Each structure stands twice: as C-alpha cells, then as structure tokens.
Structure 1
C-alpha cells in the first residue's frame, strides 16, 4: 500500500532567514554617513565676581584669623593671634573707608545673631566662642558679597 502525502508548503518571507541570522550573529550593517556634527557653541565665561573693598577686607581678615589664630581679650596675642578688630586692621592696612564699613557690617551681623546689646566689636568678640565669631564673619562676608560692596 502506498500512502500519498500531500505537501503544501506555505510560502515564506524571503527576508525572514536573513533577519533570523542577523539576530543570531549580529554584524553591524554599514551605517549611512552621519550628518556632520553641529559646530560647538562657544559660551562666554560667566562674569568673574570682583569683590568690593568691604568684602575683600572681611575675607582677608578672616583668612588672617585662619592663618594666625583668633584671640580674646587682646588686640594681638604674643604668638600672633588677633581679635576681630586686630584682624580687620591687619587686612585693611589703614583705617580707611573699607575698614570702617567692614567693621560696621561685622558689628551689625554680630548684633543680628547675638543681640542688640553689643556696642563694639571687642566686647562681642570677647564674649563668644571661636565658632560663633567665625559664623558672624562668614555671614558678614556673604552679606557684603550680596550687597556688592
């Protein structure tokens, strides 16, 4: 007996095998030439902040305190440390307008943070810790920067 088998093959997509083999062995196809990259945009550098004379005096005075040390109850300690007024004098060099304005701003910040009873920087300086004094210095510098003075 002979069995007849009808074979009806379904037609296939001719690209199907190519796609299957590409998935099994991915080789990059040559890419179309890329469009030229746009020219880099040159941005102008941001404006450089020029510290005003008060900000510079305060910043220099705090740097002096960081370098030489902070003192209480005396303008200049024998080992070189200074109180806040001593640091302002060292930074300003002379008792000029920047020195006076920096002192005024420092005292205003001290009064803002520690109470209105402070009449002068030396009394305030001598009644607080180094961390408290530094915090006032830093706030005064930020304020001078913000005011651009």
Structure 2
C-alpha cells in the first residue's frame, strides 16, 4: 500500500471563530449614543376661535329663538310660542341682566339707524315693521356686537 502524502494548507485556527462572529455577532456593549440635536419645533398657530361676548351671545341666541319658534307682532308671546323681539331677548338672556340691557340698547340703536330716530322702544319698532326688516336689524346688531367684542 502506498501512502499518499497530502499537503494541506495549514489553516488559521481562529478562522471558524471569526466566521461565526461575522454571522452571529455578539451584542455590542452599551455605549452612550452621541447627543442628537433636537429637531426644530414646528409651531403651528391654531386659528383664533371667536368667543362671543355676552351681548353678542344674547343677540345671537335671541335671533336663533326667533328662527326656531317664530317672530310675532303685537304680543310678547304668541300662543303658539312665537315671540316679539323683546320677548326673544328675554328668553335668550334668562334674566334682565347687563347683557340683556346692553343687547336691547344695541338692537334699538340699530333699529334707529335703519328705520329712523323716532323709535323709543323695541316693541313699537318691532310691531311697525316686516319680518325681513326686523331680521335685518337683528343681524346688523349682532355684527356690531361682534366688531365691538361685547
């Protein structure tokens, strides 16, 4: 029998260890990460939400009352629930407070601007005009209260 001599190239004994480390690396030691500069904050400004003042709210609520329950002439409260302008103001304000008084004064002032200076009270002005004329005064008074922020 002849012996065959083989000449194997010697291998690096750490070769397999290195290969396995590349395939399945050991966890890296906990090294604190370098501080990251914070991203610049993006501030968005929400649109301003209008908060109606007490006079504007009283006028708006009163007009909404007229829109839902109906508008009346010659009586404070109609048997079916409709009201005149002063009745709607009373319903919206709940009590005869400062907002009620100021809303009434603003409404009467706007009535005088649109329909003449002769009106001395809301009921007489209300009873002497049509629904669209009365509504126009209400809307203008609400706009004035809004612009005056009251």
SS in 2 for 1:110: helix
Greater C-alpha Rg: 2
Which residue number corresponds to residue 97 of structure 2? 96
CA distance in 2, matches of 1:92, 1:114: 25
Which residue number corresponds to residue 46 of structure 1? 47
Which residue number corresponds to residue 22 of structure 2? none
Q: 1:46 Cα deviation (Å)?
A: 1.4
SS in 2 for 1:70: coil
CA distance in 2, matches of 1:73, 1:105: 21
Which residue number corresponds to residue 30 of structure 2? none
CA distance in 2, matches of 1:91, 1:41: 43
Structure 1: which 5+ runs fail to align?
A: 1-38
Q: 1:47 Cα deviation (Å)?
A: 1.4
Post-superposition CA distance 1:99-141 (Å, at most 9, x none): 0000000000000000000000000000000000000000000
The TM-score normalised by the length of structure 2 is 0.72
Structure 2: which 5+ runs fail to align?
A: 1-39
CA distance in 2, matches of 1:55, 1:94: 16
Aligned length: 111
CA distance in 1, matches of 2:42, 2:119: 54
Distance 1:132 1:40, change over 3 A: farther
Which residue number corresponds to residue 81 of structure 1? 82
Q: 1:42 Cα deviation (Å)?
A: 4.5
Cα RMSD of the aligned pairs, angstroms, is 1.3
Q: Which moved more, 1:44-53 or 1:108-117?
A: 44-53
Q: 1:40 Cα deviation (Å)?
A: 10
CA distance in 1, matches of 2:61, 2:80: 19
